Amino acid sequence: MINSFKKHKKLLSIIALSLGMSLSTLPNAFAAFPTIPNGDNTEQPSLAPMLETVLPSVVSIKVKGTAQMDNNMPEEFRRFFGYLDTPQRPFVGQGSGVIIDAEKGYIVTNNHVIDNADDITVTLNDGHEYKAKLIGKDPQSDIALLKVENAKKLIAIKLADSDKLRVGDYVVAIGNPFGIGQTVTSGIISALARSGLNMNGFENFIQTDASINQGNSGGALVNLNGELVGINTAIIAPNGGNVGIGFAIPSNMVKSLTSQLIEYGEVKRGVLGIKGNELTSDIANAFDLDVQKGAFVSEVLDNSAAKDAGIKSGDVIVSMDGKPVDSFAELRAKIATTGAGRTVQLGIIRDGKEVNLEVKLKNSDESTTEAKSLHSALEGATLSNGEVKGQKGVLIESIAKNSPASRLSLQEGDLITGVNKERVNNIADLRKIIDSNPSAIALNIVRGNSRIYLILH
């Protein structure tokens, strides 16, 4: 092994000499890195100066709580028995977090780190421990906001503009993998606006090859200036280990969500009110479009923000607030994490010309809705968030005669508590699952003392 290393070391030296350069004189690859003295009147690239200012802003999080055990009943039995209650069991967990406001003690992390936690303990870089309370969370984007009281000498991180990131930018991931202690790994931005991973309800991930492992969730992804560009949240690990495919929630998304959690304790999600698709080459050719990226609008919903602003079916949305929109998924995530009531500027391609429209987003906090906005087979039903015998779900308030919903055998008073294998607590849950376009939609319904399934086609 030693001989092999020496051979490789010699080979690398020859390559460096043949290029006529050394680490101390590389002009491009390491130009952005800070340097430290090398002891022989030269300097070497090092992340240490930047990390010394950033590490105190990243914390470790330990949680205790209780959670419902998984129901492993086979699907064929679920059709008869529905979702049976399963026992609660205690759990402990760990993750990471990032201080974003030192004065007020605010710490951002992932929702899945603190989900169902009864006790949350934050450990600072210097070893001090504090109990934290949950200010608010947004499961659909996997963001949660914590607060610690009377903590001294907190150091907050500065947030970068994640819309300025480019593929190839150097980044550093900081967290507490496997609970072994604060750890730093480095890499580059591998991709931007990554979606379609079915990890979160709204996905607009930064992809990086910086090593991210279990326990890194909620930790920081920073640029070489020591600014937060993302919150580490997930990896693709086919064999259970890191393979260099990690994902982080962009800092601009984090900033928007946490500001709403601070102000309201929840996210008041903005809604545009359109249905659409990714702009494929087939769609571009069919509509004789010159653009290859954007969000194609297939339908504009009645009484929506889009309708009020003059958006039309066939439009292609290519920018929001002056920043490019490359896909429908990216637009959906940006709109959903923008506060309701905010006005945004949308750049649109219509009939080969660019049109700019001002849109005031509406609130997605639905307490009632016309069911046809979710699925054509539900047309004629009015839905509301409801609860029957302590169980939350979507209540069928009324059904129009001779409507698709009536032909589906829905009844007033039915409570939708699940779709396929997923639980449904409210209209937002139901919309999210149906919007994911599963090949078959089976509604799990509580009717009186019985549970039934209805299939939507």
Say how many CA atoms lie within 13 Å of 22 toward its Cβ: 4
Q: What does residue 18 show for φ and ψ, rounded to 5 degrees?
A: -65, -25
**Distance between CA atoms of 245 and 234, rounded to whole angstroms?**
9
Q: What is the DSSP string of 49-113?
A: HHHHHHGGGEEEEEEEEEEEPP----HHHHHHH-S----EEEEEEEEEEEEEETTTTEEEE-HHH
What secondary structure does DSSP assign to 143-163, as a single string? Answer: EEEEEESS--S--PPEEP-GG
Give the tokens for residue 434: 């149906």
**How far apart are the C-alpha atoms of 82 and 139, rounded to whole Å?**
24
> In this structure, are strands 227-235 and 246-250 parallel, antiparallel, or unpaired?
antiparallel
The structure tokens listed for 331 are 């637009």
Respond yes or no: is residue 112 known to be catalytic: yes
Antiparallel, parallel or unpaired: β 441-447 and 422-423: unpaired
Cα-flanking dihedrals φ and ψ of residue 320, to 5°?
-135, 125
Choose, from 57, 60, 96, 112, the residue flagged as catalytic.
112
For the question of residue 186 being annotated catalytic, the response is no
Asked if 211 contacts 180 with a C-beta cutoff of 8 angstroms, the reply is no
Q: Which of 217, 251, 304, 373 is catalytic?
A: 217
Beta strand pairing call for 450-456 and 441-447: antiparallel
Whether 8 is catalytic is no
Per DSSP, helices labelled H in 265-347 are: 281-286, 305-309, 328-336
CA distance 147 to 64: 17
Alpha carbon distance 230, 417 (integer Å)? 34
DSSP string of 348-374, one letter each residue: EEETTEEEEEEEEPEE---SEEEGGGT
Specify the DSSP element, H or E, that contains 13. helix 2-18
Neighbours of 39 (CB within 10 A): 8
Q: Which of 57, 138, 141, 142 is catalytic?
A: 142
Catalytic residues: 112, 142, 217
